[in-house]
Structure 1
Amino acid sequence: MGNDSIHHNVEYSADEIADLAELIMETTEILYVQPAQRLRMAEAQKQRSEDTKRDRSPTK
């Protein structure tokens, strides 16, 4: 958008800019937010598993 509007005198409508903003938000969600959520869930699952193993192990 930047080069087109600056160098080629192309104008974009508010709807086109809103569509682009929505795509950027969706991409950010997919690339950054979802992997972080999956990592937190995996860490929580690992911790629960370790806690369960510790709780079931015989104490000395």
Structure 2
Amino acid sequence: MSCEHCVNRVRGELLAVSGVSAVEVSLETGAVTIESGEALQLSAVRDAVVEAGYELVGV
């Protein structure tokens, strides 16, 4: 990610995943923190990151 637009795109896609209540994205490190009150499907998280134009590197 190279700009705040990138951060907002990733955040928006992840907030659309069922069960996600909050998302923090670090432009500096590329790290993402997701809050959820329920277990999330890794595939749904991965698909959201890919939809935003990025690759999920680690969990």
Q: TM-score, normalised by structure 2?
A: 0.30
Q: More helix by proportion, 1 or 2?
A: 1
Larger relative contact order (CA 8 Å, sep ≥ 6): 2
